[in-house]
Amino acid sequence: MKVDLFDFELPQDRIALRPVRPRDAAKMLVVRGKGPFEDRGVRDLPDLLEPGDVLVFNDTRVIPAQLEGRRAGGEAKIGATLHKRIDLRRWQAFVRNAKRVKDGDTLVFGGGVTAVAEARLSDGSITLAFGGEEPVEVLLERAGRMPLPPYIAGKREVDERDLEDYQTMFAKEDGAVAAPTASLHFTDALVEALEARGIQREMLTLHVGAGTFLPVKADDTDDHDMHSEFGRISAEAADRLNAARAGGGRIIAVGTTSLRLLESAAKPDRTIAPFEGDTDIFITPGYAFKGVDGLMTNFHLPKSTLVMLVSALMGRERMLAAYEYAIANKYRFYSYGDSSLLLP
């Protein structure tokens, strides 16, 4: 499909630079397969779901994956955003000023943290091998900063508030360089209300990479190379999800990251299998969903892979109409913005 089919005009003042407080005070647009759009709030979620439904969250934790430094022996400033772990000491990274970096160069970051640029990869990233014996996570805590999305970081400085705001209440497994932002809306009070309603909660892990922010440069979706990310669904979680669906419950993914991993693990008979490994699933209209029955997600960038994903779930014209409605009714977009509940 032509990428331009997923374009829309978004006024700059609709991009949220800070989240609402408390988190569950955000607006939520309910989009069903047909019928009028519903203006609700995140706090209404328990009333919009049924006992026995399961909300599936991503428990990845954002690491301080942005580094600033220079090439050893030179003055040129180098910026690196870690993208994906390769092994204990090596990461793929997107590097600013990459033309000044040659294979074998040592990059010097703050706090005495160094890394050797080993090789350039086909997606434009560079493999960085970190020096020393301390775990890379320790080095990042010393030298790195929170990697806010470019549409926020380009408008204001990252600050102390972001250390809390850009981390979900479920964050547990270190490894993401972008938050699973649909989960940013949840609070203890909301979770308690969901439990009281009989709505189940399940966890999986997908370490969101910086590739989630890369623009689609191809003119046609068939020509886009999707980034890969590491994910894990335990056998126990898969069993509980299958039991819930067998009992009549719906599987509702909280965020596109949870959805992509569930669909990667789903079998043709719509059961969920345990999963551990990389996924580069690219979901566009025409895709037959097997793993999910609905999605809670924020509002996404024009012509992005995530707009294509929600269009696959709900229909392209339906989603573009929903986005037009959201813009007209002052919904806030992107990572710190409002939410939507999509029920095909």
**144-155 pLDDT, tens digit each:** 999 888 889 889
Question: CA-CA distance, 253 to 293, in Å (whole number)?
Answer: 8
- C-alpha pair distances (Å), 195 with each of 167, 178, 189, 198: 22, 28, 10, 5
- pLDDT tens digits for range 86-99: 999 999 999 988 88
Question: CA-CA distance, 29 to 344, in Å (whole number)?
Answer: 14
Q: Which domains does the chain have, with CATH numbers?
A: 3-62+164-343 (3.40.1780.10), 66-144 (2.40.10.240)
Angle value at C-alpha 206, between 48 and 111, nearest 5 degrees: 125
Question: CA-CA distance, 120 to 95, in Å (whole number)?
Answer: 10
How does pLDDT run along the chain (344 residues), one tens digit per residue? 999 999 999 999 999 999 999 999 999 999 999 999 999 999 999 999 999 999 999 999 999 999 999 998 877 889 999 988 999 999 999 998 888 899 999 999 988 999 999 989 887 899 999 999 999 989 999 999 998 888 898 899 989 999 999 999 999 999 999 999 999 999 999 999 999 999 999 999 999 987 666 778 899 999 988 888 999 999 999 999 999 999 999 999 999 999 999 999 999 999 999 999 999 999 999 999 999 999 999 999 999 999 999 999 999 999 999 999 999 999 999 999 999 999 99
